[in-house]
Amino acid sequence: MTRDNQTCSQEIRSLLHSKNQPLILAHIRPDGDAVASVLGMGLALQADGKKAQLVFPEGIPSKFKFLKGSDTVHTQIEPGYDLVIALDCSDQKRMGAEFADLNVDINIDHHITNENFGHQNLVLPEEPATSAILAQYLPQWGFPITPDMAETLLTGILTDTIGFRTSNVSANTLHLAANLIENGANLTELYEKALISQTFSASQLWGFSLSRLEKKGRIAWTSITLADRKQAGYPGRDDADLTNILSAIEEIDVSILFNEQNNCKIKVSWRSNANINVSVIAQRFGGGGHPPAAGAEITGGLEEVQNMVLEFTDSFLKEIQSKGENDYGK
């Protein structure tokens, strides 16, 4: 820990102990780590006798409603708070438009892009989850980990690392997770609830889509059509985690998922597992993203967009090959 982080941590400790009505927020479209961080911090402060206010404007995704404290969450801020804590937010806009003018006292996050918008900013980009930061610091700040907190924080770590799978998982992360188990969290149960379970219709959607899986050279692709969603009764417009399945295929360098939307648009997702910067391809179609994972939304029919994208991706890969390199654009 740097000296700055040490000073910041001490300031946060004293703020947490001197204030009694903290307001705790995370980001819009909350994921497991956002939910877990807010609930974990809330449970810690509530156990210490404070009147903590936990706010998610959109509520909590039903998947995470099993977590303790989720029934105390509000969708609007009530007056009377004396401390504002933002968790897992890289910038203040991401907290939600209605919170853009809030005076943020404490900002705790693990995103490298964090804009340090709080008075105290504990930003640790080497950590795989904000929940992992809280699991380390809360006890240091005088808030011991209860079984409910352990369950919540382990859920945040599990979801943000997809079951300890991402490249930012360290030995320390596993020691931390082990400590949370020792503090009362049931790993198997949380794994099942937060990561494994899948609806019948999602499984069927996978089937419809994967049965049309195609491959040409080092590119594999498939689509999710409006008809697939209808036939499977799948409610969302998302990719049902199919990109994870595609990116796990061994013999290919780039996978592409074409996801048909209602509005004559096709959401296209590229994944690379061979050091190919697919965000360059996505940018060509008005999209963006990261080197191994990028996307774009393209107007047109499924077949038309598919042909266009496959042709461009193919020529992009051939260009790289002709240059004798495979990390073009990185």
Task: Using DSSP bridges, classify how beta strands 219-224 and 254-260 pair: parallel, antiparallel or unpaired.
Answer: parallel
CB 188 → its own copies: shortest distance, Å?
Answer: 4
Stretch that binds its own copies, among 8-16, 71-79, 170-178, 276-284 (CB under 8 A): 170-178
Check binding of 163 to its own copies (CB under 8 A).
yes
CA proximity to 146, closest of 67, 71, 82: 67
- Interacting residues of 9 by C-beta distance below 8 A, sequence separation 6+: 1, 122, 137, 140, 141
- 3-62 positions binding its own copies, by CB under 8 A: none
**82 vs 21, 52, 287, CA distance in Å?**
5, 10, 41
What is the rounded CA–CA span in Å between residue 97 and residue 241? 28
Out of 79, 113, 171, 324, the residue judged to bind its own copies by CB under 8 A = 171
CB-wise, 124 or 252, nearer to its own copies?
252
Task: Using DSSP bridges, classify how beta strands 214-216 and 106-109 pair: parallel, antiparallel or unpaired.
Answer: unpaired
Out of 7, 170, 299, 315, the residue judged to bind its own copies by CB under 8 A = 170
- 223-262 positions binding its own copies, by CB under 8 A: 245-246, 248-252
Cα 95 to chain centroid distance, Å, stands at 14
CB-wise, 6 or 197, nearer to its own copies?
197
Stretch that binds its own copies, among 10-18, 68-76, 204-212, 263-271 (CB under 8 A): 204-212
Check binding of 293 to its own copies (CB under 8 A).
no
Size of the site for its own copies (CB under 8 A): 47
**Cβ atoms < 10 Å from Cβ of 234:** 21
Query: What's phi and psi for 290, nearest 5 deg?
Result: -110, 165
CB-wise, 85 or 224, nearer to its own copies?
224
Residues engaged in binding its own copies (CB under 8 A): 163-167, 169-175, 177-179, 181-182, 187-188, 191-192, 196-200, 203-204, 206-213, 215, 220, 222, 245-246, 248-252, 273
